[in-house]
Chains A and B, each alone.
Chain A
Amino acid sequence: TQLLEQSPQFLSIQEGENLTVYCNSSSVFSSLQWYRQEPGEGPVLLVTVVTGGEVKKLKRLTFQFGDARKDSSLHITAAQPGDTGLYLCVVPGGGGSNYKLTFGKGTLLTVNP
């Protein structure tokens, strides 16, 4: 069983459309991070959320941490081809250790011009 379930797994949209991707779990987390991985590169941290109900904005990206700190969403407004990449939901710990990150399998987003 995956600790983090991300949906959808794949998403292909046209430039200018809006989209939302989700990260869900049955566990409660002290914090949650979103990373983006572009082709041929390693993941890059986009945001860390720590408070239930927290909303953070990064230009056209809006991140929300669920009230119960079990889930999160990422909304992109007016998507651009440069937003193409693998969006990964990440939590610290897992398997009884704090010294690791546990990743969801990601949402692969393709924005077509």
Chain B
Amino acid sequence: KAGVTQTPRYLIKTRGQQVTLSCSPISGHRSVSWYQQTPGQGLQFLFEYFSETQRNKGNFPGRFSGRQFSNSRSEMNVSTLELGDSALYLCASSFLGGGSYEQYFGPGTRLTVT
């Protein structure tokens, strides 16, 4: 079974631009979560989608948004990029979601904002 895939793997953007990251979950998984990883803050939860509905959102500004498609693939968008948005963005999928279930992480998208 193929793992979680994320595209692109690396991205360089300029302040003020916007960016869209993509995540394809493991086949059959309906829950997709997004996390931001930085050296200072570690991994922080962005949001989780299940069957195309956002079930929960972390404490990030409205510039961070996401969506999930009927095939469970998910995208996240960051508008008006700031230098502090430079991070590794990780996507994780699980069958049902919820914290007690194992989440399978993709390799991440490394975003650099200059």
User: Do the beta carbons of A98 and B98 come within 8 Å of each other?
Assistant: yes
Most A-side CB within 10 Å, residue of B41, B56, B92: B56
Question: From A105, which residue of chain B is reached at the shortest CB distance?
Answer: B42
**Number of residue pairs spanning A and B whose beta carbons lie under 8 angstroms apart:** 68
- By size class, the interface of chain A is 20 to 34
Q: Is A97 interfacial (CB 8 A cutoff)?
A: yes
Q: Is B4 interfacial (CB 8 A cutoff)?
A: yes
Shortest distance between the CB of A107 and any CB in chain B (Å): 11
Binding site for B on A (CB under 8 A): 30-31, 33, 40-45, 48, 88, 91-95, 97-106
Can you report 16 A-B residue pairs in the complex whose CB atoms are below 8 A from each other? A33-B102, A41-B107, A42-B105, A42-B106, A42-B108, A43-B43, A88-B43, A92-B99, A98-B100, A99-B48, A100-B33, A100-B48, A100-B56, A101-B33, A101-B92, A106-B42
Binding site for A on B (CB under 8 A): 4, 31, 33, 35, 41-45, 48, 50, 55-56, 58-59, 90, 92, 97-100, 102-108
